[in-house]
Structure formats: C-alpha cells, structure tokens
Structure 1
Amino acid sequence: MRPFWLEQALSAESAVNCPPLQGDTEADVCIVGGGYTGLWTAIQLKEQNPGLDVALIEADLCGAGASGRNGGCVLSWSAKYFTLERLFGVEEAVRLVKESERSVRAIGAFCERHGIDAEYRLDGTLYTATSRAQCGATDGVIAALERQGIHSFEKRPPADVQRLAGSTRHLEGWFSPMAASVQPGKLVRGLRRVALQRGVRIYENSAMTGLEEGVPATIHTPGGRIRARRVVLAMNAWMARAFPRFERSVAIVSSDMLITAPRPELLKSIGLTSGVTVLDSRIFVHYYRNTPDGRIMLGKGGNTFAYGGRMLPVFDQPSPYADQLRRSLEAFFPAFAEVPVAATWNGPSDRSVTGLPFFGQMSASGNVFYGFGYSGSGVGPCHMGGQILASLVLGLDNPWTRSPLVNGPLGYFPPEPFRYLGSLLVRNAIRRKERAEDHGWRPRHLDVRLARLAAAAGKADKG
C-alpha cells in the first residue's frame, strides 16, 4: 500500500522512477535508504564536495518508508531538553536545541530556494493539556529552557488555545513559533529531485541484500553490486532487522494516522485555519494539524509493537486502530463527525531508549556510518542527521563529529521476549491510566508506576 502522502506527491510530479541497479558499479559514497536521512546526507555531501561520486539505493521508491508516511510535524528538540541535558550536559543540550530550531527554518528556506512545493508553513506548535492530569506537564521543561535563554514558548489563555487549536478539548497550552508543518511525501520527493540535480545517482527498487565490509566496501542488491570507499546506512527502523547488533537498541512501534476528506469551510468555522501543529501531553501523544486543501490529519503513537524488530505486514496496511482514531477525531472536532475519512495508515517507528537518534561507525575499517532511532520525531531532526552523517563521511572535525550523538546507542532494551511482553504491559497500563484521567478518575497506582517506565525510556519528555 502506498502511503497517502506519497500517492499525493507522485500524482503531482512528472518525474519517472529511477531504474534499479543492474550490474556492478563503483562510487565514492554509497547511501542505503532513500528517505529524509539518506537524501539530506547526499545533498549535504554534494554541497560540501560537488566532485564526490555519490550513489544511493532505495528498496522501494524514495519516500515509501517513514519519510512518506509521517504526520508532517516539523518540530524542534525543545521539549526534549531534560533528556538532552541529562545525557550530554548543559552546553551540548543548549546547542542541540538551537540547531534543531535552525533546522526547522532551514527546511523551509531549502524548499523556497529549490522550488519544492512541500506545503511548508512556519505556523508554530501548541503543546496542550486535554485532561486535568496533564495540566502543568510542560511547565518544568519550559522553565528550564527559560533559564538557559532558549525559551521560545508562550503560555496562552485557555480561550486562545482553543481558538488556535480549533477544539474546546484543550484546557491549557504553550505556543512556540519555532515549528512548521509539511506534506511529507512532497518534501521527500523534492529532496530526491534536488539530489538528482546535484548529480547523485539514485537506484530505486534496489534493496540491500548484503554488505561486505572492507576498503572498499561492497553493497549487494538483487541486480548488482556497488563498491564504495564509504557507506552510509540510513535505513531507520529497518536497521534493527538488517543488523542484529542493533536489535536491542530500538523498539519498533507503530504510529497510526488518519486524514479526512477536504472540508475547508468547516475548518474555517471551527477556527483551525493556520498550519499550527498540536500535540497533547499524553505519553503516547495525540497530534494533529490541518492541510492547505482543508483536511484534518490526526495521529497517535504507541499502538502496534513488533516482536524482535520485525517488519510486520500491518505496517503497510490501513491502520488497525481506525475506529479509535475516528473516535479521537470526533472528540476533538465534533463538527467533523460526519466527514468521511479519506485514508488511514501506519508505519514502523524506531524508538530508542532515550527517544533520541544516535549515529556512529560500525566497521573495523572505519568507513561504514549509520544514523537512526528518531523515535517518531524525525522530520526536523533528519536535517541535522544529514549534517552529522556528511561530516562523518568527510572526516571533518566540527561540533557534529564531536557531539556525543555520534557515540552509538545510548542504551538498550531488554532481550526478547521480555522487551515485547514488557512493552505490551506498559502500553496497556498507559491506556488504562489515560482513560481514567480523561474521565476525571484516579488511575490505579500500578498503572501510574508502569507508565513512568515509558517516560523513563524516552517516550515522554516533560521533566
């Protein structure tokens, strides 16, 4: 099943598919993965060294993975400040928050400069509370940002929050202008076009079937091989399955989304007229935004967990949680109760222990680099990931290559079956806890304690 966003993007472009790799070839750099991380890396490499011969292989079409099926919320790492500070110290945490905000703007500037109609709107984000138990959940991290002089948030009166978010479900909210929204498929296909224009050789429908490490390294596909001096693995959730050494570094979990049919007049009537992204303060958040053609996209994380990092068939099918998403849509927007749902979908998200991506090199020869673990929040940070991986490939000495982000996984999940069974136990406790809070009831003590395990593992970052 093609993701909704990618289908939209493909129908709007005239480009033809890049052919699969046939036969053997050589390259200075081979990138495995045609999503945001791989394409940003390719573009960054060509910007810094135009003469570099860069080849990129993609198992499907560029954008068929997470980059073409996310919610299109371009967020900074402001809300992750406590985790950044705990892991890396104040100085690096402040730098990374600033860089993440810079990436939000840089994506828009790149689209404008290269004529990419990705529906980029720098209209900010709202972090809200939709139950009394969620009220105050964001206050601590906002105060910490303010102490460090990187505070872009403003607490809005409840009436303003409800007006801006288009829903009376929100009891409080903090607004930051440092966030944007995009049509994910159009962004990734635009990056593909620019990469091709820069001279990157892209081979679609060319899955990596093997990697022989060495100098040069050899990447095998069904139709041929690429011998490359350096390799970048930008496979995101698929890394854990391809390389068993990473199996415990991430948990593969779905994020499920729906999108309505266009109703621009109805959007206008409820006041949801800007491109603001809205996230509540649940552990597995609700997030939503509108689209320029008058739709509402709504998603929720933390539903399907994969045993052993497997790519389940359901990840390429309509969401099995469609009814739950529909009920959430109607709870936020009663006026949309009769509006048809145009599509539902889901996809695998690579949740790291910290909730942050990690990067490094994995070969004895020192020429195979990787980056993944974006934990469902990669649209903006993948731009940083491209800078990190390009810097590693080029052997630069800069803040990116000196960052502790390049030290590989910063924690591991328990082995199976404990990871899978524990994930389900915690997920179900979170559901019971938040259902009770939605009704104003006191959740069970055990559910509260189990939910804290998810927060400690980086699935929430409120303090």
Structure 2
Amino acid sequence: MRPFWLQQALDQEQDTLCPPLSADIRCDVCIVGGGYTGLWTALMIKEQAPQLEVVLIEADICGAGASGRNGGCALSWSAKYFTLERLFGAAEAVRLVRESERSIAAIGDYCAANGIYCDYRMDGTLYTASNAAQLGGTDAVIAALARQGINSFERLALEQVQQRAGSARHLEGWFSPAAATVQPGRLVRGLRRVALQRGVRIYEGTAMTSLEHGAPVQVRTAHATVRADRVVLGINAWMARAFQQFERSVAIVSSDMVITEPCPELLDKIGLDTGISVLDSRIFVHYYHNTSDGRLMLGKGGNTFAYGGRMLPVFDQPSPYQPLLCQTLNDFFPALAEVPIAASWNGPSDRSVTGLPFFGRLDGQGNVFYGFGYSGSGVGPCHMGGQILSSLALGLDNPWTRSGLVKGPLGQFPPEPIRYLGSLLVRDAIRRKERAEDRGMRPRRLDVRLARYAAAAGKADKG
C-alpha cells in the first residue's frame, strides 16, 4: 500500500503505463527523478523548447517520493525572509519572496489550464502561536516584510484566529492569502500525465545506477544507458546517497502525518470549511488543513533522523509517531476525538543547513545540473526549482541562473556520527522545551540553548 495521498490518486487514475527502460537511447535532456522538481523541469523545458527530446527516468513511479506524500501545503518564502536576506542580500530576498508567491498562484493556473484536478485551493495560510511562549514569534519577520513592501500578512483578532483555525488552542495569528493547499498525489500524477502529453518520454521502475561525465553524459541504469547532451538530477533526499560529495549537505529527517476518515459536518461545525493551512510557531511545526472530501490532515516534522543519509525502511511504513500525532489532533480538536484515523505515513525530508534548497552544476560540469534541499517545504518552491533547472539546462542567462541559489550548498553539517548524535540531542531538547512551554512552565536553560542550534540550521523557518 502506498502513502495515503498517492494511493488515493492511483485508485482514481486511468493513465498510460510507463514501463522500465530496456534499451539504450539518446536524447537532448535526461531528467533523473519523477517528483515535482523533475516534472516541472521537464514541462518548462518543453514549453520553451518543444523540439528537444526530453527523457525522464524514475526509480519507482512518479510521485513515490516526497511529492506524493507531503502535507499538501503550498507556502511562500515570506517566513524565510531573514535567511534569504542574510544569504543573498535584500534585493534578491525581496525578489525570491515575490517569486515564491507567484509560483503558488502559477501552480493553480497551470492545473486549471491542463485539467489537473488536485483539490487546489488558494485559501491562504494562518501562522499562529499555540502556547504563550510562542506569542510574538512572527512579529519581527512581518515587520521586515512590511519595510520591504512585500508583506501579505495581517494580524487577526483572537476570535477570528480561533474561528479560522477551528481550535481554541491558538492564542494569536497572522493570515496571508498567498498560500494554497493541494492533494499532493493528484498533483504529481497530473503533472506526469501532462508531461506525457507534451512528448516527454517517461520510464518508471528505472533507477540510475551511475553517471559518467562527458559529451554526451551517460546515465546508466540496470538494463540500458541514456546518452544525453544535458542531465538534470531531481532526486532530492536520495542525492546524499547517490553522490558522496553531498553526504554532509543535508540531513535526512522524517515528516509524519495522520489523516482522519471523512467528517465534513464536524469540520464545518468547528469552522474548518475552507482550504486554509494552519501552522504554529514551534521549531518543528504542527501543520494541518482539511480536504475537499471532509478529512483533516495533521502533521509534524523533525521526528526520525537517518544516520549517514540512509533511506530507512520506516520511511515507507505507517508513522511510528501516530500516537503522538493523534494526541495532538485531539488536543487541538476535542470535537474530533471519536473520528477514526484513516491512515498515517511519513517520508524522508532533505533538510539543508540553511533551510533552503540549493542548485548547481555537478562536479563543475556545464551539462549536469542538480537541485535539492527543500527542507520539508517543496510544494510551492519546486515550481521555482523547475524554473531554475530548466533555465540551466537551456543555457539561459536570467535572474534564476544568476541567483545565489545556484551556488551549490551553502554550508555543511558535521560528519557522522556527530551529525546523527547531535541531531537526536537537539531534537529531544526541543521536545522537552516545547512540552514545558505547552504546560506553561519555564524550560531548562540547557534545552533552550540546544534548541537554538536547530534555529541556526534554518529549521525555525515556517513551512
């Protein structure tokens, strides 16, 4: 059984099979990875240069990775403004925030124009405080956005916050209309369908086993080789295992989710009658939204850490944190206490040091490009990633190819076992700190100090 979103999409799908690659082929561009990054890149290349022969290979089926199992929250980079400004300067930070908002709207427009029915709802997002210690946590970034003339948030009265969020647990809130929710499995499978219609040749069940630089580049698989003038690597969390130079560029950590059986009357009663997403101000945030068929999805990041960037079996199993997630759901929504849980799942997220994705040319080559490190927030930014990678593959000179995002990883995590042990130490300190804050108690100083390491690694950014 696949994760809930992807299985739901597959159950409703009547689409073309894409068998594995069985014979050597030649193409202009080979894309490795059939998630949002790879598919958006393929579609944007075809849009700008329809004459090019584009091949996409995917180890499993399109959407089997994070694209088919994420929380479905398409968020902008507004909350990441301070990180963007520190890394790239104010002008580029402003541009990237604006582009991130444009991407969210562009995804909806593309789905509408191409018949992708993925429950896209641009009903905005609500950033909240769910305990007293979180109060005011968003004020500074909102003020900075306002100074730059790019603030889309408004502070809501407490009654409005609790009404829109459907829960009295929230103590303050800022609302932005520049956000959407989607059924992520339907989105990725819809992009796959359109890519096939545009002439992209897709081979599922075809893992890259090695890559050999040259002109052409040779992408080897179990049974055949793809020879391509240019290659785009969009395998995200799997990059750290495929290419040793990136082993310390990301930390692989799970995001875990539960979803209820349909309960539309109850959701309407508590006020969750739109596609708004709600995120609190924890370091590893709680996030939730309803679905068009009357379910409630709730998730939380920062749970299972992988040693050495390995893909653990647990990432393809029901979430081991389901009891904790169910307790949180009941705390936020007592009225839903008797609603059964339909499914739980989790998956690997590639957390970068900055909390932002990065892009570049593999080994300094001019014809192999990569992008990953979305850090648990890829639904909207992967559309930006497609613009970056398609521009690189097409040899364009534009603001995307000149961006600081295209300088490769901007920092490294410590080597193993320090990274793994340190991650567990910090994670557990964060849990103790936030558990104390939920109870109205002062956390231990050591836990507060350790939690700052997560903030320094970009994990305090929302979304």
TM-score (norm 1): 0.99
CA positional deviation for 1:363: 3.5
1:425 aligns with 2:457: no
Corresponding residue of 1:374: 374
CA positional deviation for 1:4: 0.6
- The residue type paired with residue 109 of structure 1 is D
Corresponding residue of 2:436: 436
- Partner Cα separation in structure 1 for residue 289 and residue 45 of structure 2: 33
Corresponding residue of 1:386: 386
Deviations 1:293-333 (A, max 9, x none): 00000000000000000000000000000100000010011
Corresponding residue of 2:82: 82
Partner secondary structure for residue 256 of structure 1: strand
CA positional deviation for 1:223: 2.1
- The residue type paired with residue 420 of structure 1 is Y
Question: Is the Cα–Cα contact under 8 Å of residues 237 and 350 in structure 1 kept in the other structure?
Answer: yes
- The residue type paired with residue 453 of structure 1 is Y
Task: Give 5+ residue unaligned stretches, structure 2.
Answer: none
Corresponding residue of 1:114: 114
- Partner Cα separation in structure 2 for residue 213 and residue 327 of structure 1: 51
Partner secondary structure for residue 205 of structure 2: coil
Corresponding residue of 1:206: 206
CA positional deviation for 1:12: 1.2
Corresponding residue of 1:453: 453
1:276 aligns with 2:258: no
- The residue type paired with residue 310 of structure 1 is R
Partner secondary structure for residue 299 of structure 2: strand
- Partner Cα separation in structure 2 for residue 302 and residue 222 of structure 1: 34
Deviations 1:78-116 (A, max 9, x none): 000000000000000000000000000000000000011
Deviations 1:150-188 (A, max 9, x none): 010000011100000100000000000000000000000
Partner secondary structure for residue 363 of structure 2: coil
- Partner Cα separation in structure 2 for residue 59 and residue 199 of structure 1: 20
CA positional deviation for 1:196: 0.6
- Partner Cα separation in structure 2 for residue 364 and residue 325 of structure 1: 43
- Partner Cα separation in structure 2 for residue 13 and residue 414 of structure 1: 44
- Partner Cα separation in structure 1 for residue 363 and residue 246 of structure 2: 13
Map 1:284-433 onto structure 2 (within 5 A): 284-433=284-433
Deviations 1:41-73 (A, max 9, x none): 000000000001000000011001000000000
Question: Is the Cα–Cα contact under 8 Å of residues 17 and 61 in structure 1 kept in the other structure?
Answer: no
Corresponding residue of 1:152: 152
- The residue type paired with residue 417 of structure 1 is P
- Partner Cα separation in structure 2 for residue 268 and residue 388 of structure 1: 40
Q: Which moved more, 1:216-225 or 1:183-192?
A: 216-225
Question: Is the Cα–Cα contact under 8 Å of residues 290 and 296 in structure 1 kept in the other structure?
Answer: yes
Corresponding residue of 2:258: 258
Q: Which moved more, 1:423-432 or 1:209-218?
A: 209-218
- Partner Cα separation in structure 1 for residue 145 and residue 98 of structure 2: 11
Deviations 1:381-438 (A, max 9, x none): 0000000000001110000000010000000000000000000000000000000000
CA positional deviation for 1:224: 1.0
- The residue type paired with residue 254 of structure 2 is S
CA positional deviation for 1:364: 4.7
- Partner Cα separation in structure 2 for residue 407 and residue 16 of structure 1: 38
Deviations 1:105-142 (A, max 9, x none): 00000000001101000000000000000000000000
- Partner Cα separation in structure 1 for residue 216 and residue 38 of structure 2: 20
Question: Is the Cα–Cα contact under 8 Å of residues 82 and 461 in structure 1 kept in the other structure?
Answer: no
- Partner Cα separation in structure 2 for residue 426 and residue 338 of structure 1: 34
Partner secondary structure for residue 363 of structure 1: helix
RMSD (CA atoms): 0.7
CA positional deviation for 1:441: 0.2
- Partner Cα separation in structure 1 for residue 215 and residue 322 of structure 2: 48
- Partner Cα separation in structure 2 for residue 263 and residue 223 of structure 1: 48
CA positional deviation for 1:16: 3.3
Question: Is the Cα–Cα contact under 8 Å of residues 215 and 365 in structure 1 kept in the other structure?
Answer: no
Map 1:37-52 onto structure 2 (within 5 A): 37-52=37-52
- Partner Cα separation in structure 2 for residue 346 and residue 175 of structure 1: 27
- The residue type paired with residue 426 of structure 1 is V
CA positional deviation for 1:213: 1.1
Corresponding residue of 2:94: 94
- The residue type paired with residue 142 of structure 1 is I
- Partner Cα separation in structure 2 for residue 34 and residue 300 of structure 1: 25
Corresponding residue of 2:192: 192
- Partner Cα separation in structure 2 for residue 461 and residue 234 of structure 1: 23
- The residue type paired with residue 170 of structure 2 is H
- The residue type paired with residue 396 of structure 1 is L
1:174 aligns with 2:174: yes
- Partner Cα separation in structure 2 for residue 103 and residue 410 of structure 1: 23
- The residue type paired with residue 75 of structure 1 is L
Partner secondary structure for residue 175 of structure 2: strand
CA positional deviation for 1:220: 1.1
Corresponding residue of 2:226: 226
CA positional deviation for 1:7: 0.7
CA positional deviation for 1:23: 1.0
- Partner Cα separation in structure 1 for residue 443 and residue 51 of structure 2: 60
- The residue type paired with residue 213 of structure 1 is H
- Partner Cα separation in structure 2 for residue 382 and residue 360 of structure 1: 15
- Partner Cα separation in structure 1 for residue 208 and residue 426 of structure 2: 35
Corresponding residue of 1:248: 248
Same amino acid, percent of matched pairs: 76
- Partner Cα separation in structure 1 for residue 6 and residue 419 of structure 2: 32
Aligned residues: 462
Corresponding residue of 1:31: 31
Deviations 1:439-458 (A, max 9, x none): 00000000000001100100
- Partner Cα separation in structure 1 for residue 325 and residue 285 of structure 2: 12
Which aligned runs of 4 or more in structure 1 are off by greater than 4 angstroms?
none
